[in-house]
């Protein structure tokens, strides 16, 4: 597993998946939780799109709910 790079390209890819995630918070500027860490908002588990995310597959990450638990 490689550490996910925190860059604009990965953030943009992430937003394609996160915006449709039932757990995601719409807090301005938050996303790419697998690289940046958990959300500043308290969130409840309502389903997770991380497993289908291209970033997850590209970097070989295995965890889910990065928005709640933080970076891998």
pLDDT one digit per residue (tens) for the chain, 72 residues: 469 999 999 999 998 888 899 998 878 889 999 999 999 999 999 999 999 999 999 999 989 999 999 987
pLDDT at 33: 93
Token look-up 């588990």 returns: 45
Token look-up 């995630």 returns: 21
**Rounded to whole angstroms, how far apart are CA atoms 46 and 11?**
22
- Asked if residues 16 and 49 have their Cβ atoms less than 8 Å apart, the reply is no
pTM above 0.75, yes or no: yes
Token look-up 């992430």 returns: 14
**Rounded to whole angstroms, how far apart are CA atoms 6 and 32?**
7
pLDDT at 65: 96
């Amino acid at each position: 597993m490689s550490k996910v790079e925190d860059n604009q390209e990965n953030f943009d890819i992430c937003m394609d998946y996160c915006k449709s995630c039932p757990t995601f918070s719409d807090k301005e500027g938050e996303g790419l939780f697998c690289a940046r860490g958990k959300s500043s908002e308290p969130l409840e588990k309502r389903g997770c799109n991380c497993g289908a995310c291209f970033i997850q597959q590209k970097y070989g990450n295995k965890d889910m709910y990065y928005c709640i638990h933080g970076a891998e």
